[in-house]
A and B are shown apart, each in its own frame.
Chain A
Amino acid sequence: MEIIDVTRTVDPKMLKWPDDTEPPSQEFVTRTDNGDPATVSEWKMSSHTGTHMDARMHFIPDGWPMEALDLSRSVGLCRVVDLTHVEGHVGRADLEAAEVAGQARLLLKTRNSELGFMQREEFEEGYSAISREAAEYLVEIGVETIGVDYLSVEPFEDAGFSTHHTLLGADVVILEGLVLTEVEPGEYFLACLPLKLAGSDGSPARAILIRGL
């Protein structure tokens, strides 16, 4: 069994969404270096830090919060789709050409992964995301879980957040911030178990892919 970790390490110098949220911060409570018996620190971070899941309530009032996630949405067979050739945002035609219909869980590997965007410290506005028409196509073909290799499924310039509204409106589970650089396109078993946060719109998560038995 081969386990591939597709998670961005959380640290105070990591990239973050360029609005009002602070980067993760770590504060030591006790540490063995200072003669304390144990090392413990506390963290402050956005619920959308690094590799994370969006709950439906992130954009949809009355949508389900994190603790109500059906774990089968993020644990099960998935396909990593090669879209590294796509310039700009992923469009409907790109998905049609990749023949993704029939898959419940899709992870889109784009040029973001080739350029190592998720591993950087600075936010990159020029990331590749999912266009509104591509999001509508994903809903049309019955995709239940969609994963992307940057901090948002939304094109940076879409002020109306139509991709989020389209996907979360149709109750598609969104995984953002996956690190797919070392992942060959193909079929895997996805295991992503986010925190059971009461009433929360999202959660940082550890995401792994398993190949073989």
Chain B
Amino acid sequence: MPDEKDPKHPKHPTALAALLQGFEIIDLSHTLEEGIPSWPTHARFGQVLYESYELGDVARHYGLTLSEHTGTHMDAPLHFIAEGPAHYGIDEVPLDRLAGRAATIEAPELPRSGLLTAAHVREWEEEYGSIEELDVVLVRYGWDRRWGTGPEGTSFLEDWPGLGGDAAEYLVGKGVSLVGCDTLAVDAFGSEENPAHYALLGKEVYIVENLKNLDRLPPWSFFVAFPLKVRGGSGSPVRAVALMHREG
């Protein structure tokens, strides 16, 4: 057996690179641009041109304004958890929990502000296999179709469906590491109690919201999203991707 510094060793990074040659990267992130949908109370995304070659400067350079919950983003536990062991920021989220096998559950038929139930998750498992500890669970409501930068984006901000409290508790019981969705929030529009946020973040199950392209994923794929390392942040925009096996 060659030693671990030898590229032929199965634990050498070359093995991971070779493995990933067989996979395609699917971008699950919305482009960050002015006018994208935002919580009414949150900062809008913006870019201010500081300098540019057209203006006689040597380089082009922007200043960014962003809410921690801008675009495709991750919630840190302290977003909702005010005290205790889960009261920590996005810079302390363990990175090894943010890359894992991902189940994509289809739920495009829910009524306005409807809730995905634990029964729905169990039905999915009967068809595609059991969700296990440390899995990622992505829910596709088909809501990303409403995303837009103009008036067409306003329907994104109303009546979105969400994860019911029983489904959130069920996934927490399974020990999943992360739950993602293609809506503005994991809890449905109008939820005052935010049962999914409290259930998930309280047990250090991380949340990614405003995903797109989940319709391109098979029932099982591999999900990766690493947040910016913002000290004490309640969240961070992320570039979320999935890896899926190349066809042919």
B226 contacts A46, C-beta separation under 8 Å: no
A10 contacts B47, C-beta separation under 8 Å: no
- Which chain B residues lie closer than 8 Å to A199 at the CB level? 33, 47
- Per-residue contact bits, chain A 195-206, to B (CB 8 Å; 1 contact, 0 not): 111111110111
Chain A residue total in the interface (Cβ 8 A)? 65
B50 part of interface (Cβ distance < 8 Å): yes
Contact of A186 among B5, B27, B96, B194 (CB under 8 A): B5
- Number of A-B residue pairs, CB cutoff 8 Å, is 194
Residue of A nearest to B29 (CB): A196
B58 part of interface (Cβ distance < 8 Å): yes
- Per-residue contact bits, chain B 56-82, to A (CB 8 Å; 1 contact, 0 not): 001111111111110110000011111
- Which chain A residues lie closer than 8 Å to B62 at the CB level? 46-47, 197, 200-202
A48 contacts B31, C-beta separation under 8 Å: no
Residue of B nearest to A70 (CB): B25
A47 contacts B61, C-beta separation under 8 Å: yes
A197 contacts B79, C-beta separation under 8 Å: no
Residue of A nearest to B50 (CB): A21
Selecting from A56-64, A88-96, A136-144, the interface stretch reads A56-64
A206 contacts B226, C-beta separation under 8 Å: yes
With A195-B237, A206-B226, A210-B16 as known contacts, state yes or no: A46 contacts B63, CB within 8 Å: yes
A23 CA / B174 CA spacing, docked (Å)? 42
B: contact size bracket: 35 or more
B229 contacts A8, C-beta separation under 8 Å: yes
A40 contacts B47, C-beta separation under 8 Å: no
With A72-B25, A206-B229 as known contacts, state yes or no: A40 contacts B79, CB within 8 Å: yes
A211 part of interface (Cβ distance < 8 Å): yes
- Which chain A residues lie closer than 8 Å to B140 at the CB level? none
With A3-B96, A196-B27 as known contacts, state yes or no: A43 contacts B13, CB within 8 Å: no
A187 part of interface (Cβ distance < 8 Å): yes
Distance between A160 CB and nearest chain B CB, rounded to angstroms: 8
With A40-B68, A198-B33, A206-B228 as known contacts, state yes or no: A58 contacts B233, CB within 8 Å: no
- Which chain B residues lie closer than 8 Å to A210 at the CB level? 13, 16
A213 part of interface (Cβ distance < 8 Å): yes
B239 contacts A194, C-beta separation under 8 Å: yes
Distance between B147 CB and nearest chain A CB, rounded to angstroms: 13
- Which chain A residues lie closer than 8 Å to B233 at the CB level? 41, 43
B95 contacts A3, C-beta separation under 8 Å: yes
- Per-residue contact bits, chain A 26-61, to B (CB 8 Å; 1 contact, 0 not): 100110110001111111111110110000011101
A169 part of interface (Cβ distance < 8 Å): no
A45 CA / B228 CA spacing, docked (Å)? 12
- Which chain A residues lie closer than 8 Å to B146 at the CB level? none
B166 part of interface (Cβ distance < 8 Å): no
A168 CA / B180 CA spacing, docked (Å)? 36
- Which chain B residues lie closer than 8 Å to A129 at the CB level? none
Distance between B84 CB and nearest chain A CB, rounded to angstroms: 12
With A42-B43, A204-B228 as known contacts, state yes or no: A197 contacts B4, CB within 8 Å: no
- B residues lining the A interface (CB < 8 Å): 4-5, 7, 10-17, 19-20, 25, 27, 29-34, 41-43, 47, 50-51, 53-54, 58-69, 71-72, 78-82, 91, 95-96, 194, 197, 224-235, 237-239, 241
23 contacts between A and B (CB under 8 A): A5-B229, A9-B230, A10-B228, A11-B232, A26-B230, A37-B80, A39-B234, A42-B68, A50-B229, A61-B54, A77-B16, A191-B226, A193-B239, A195-B29, A195-B32, A196-B72, A196-B239, A197-B64, A198-B31, A205-B228, A206-B229, A210-B13, A213-B15
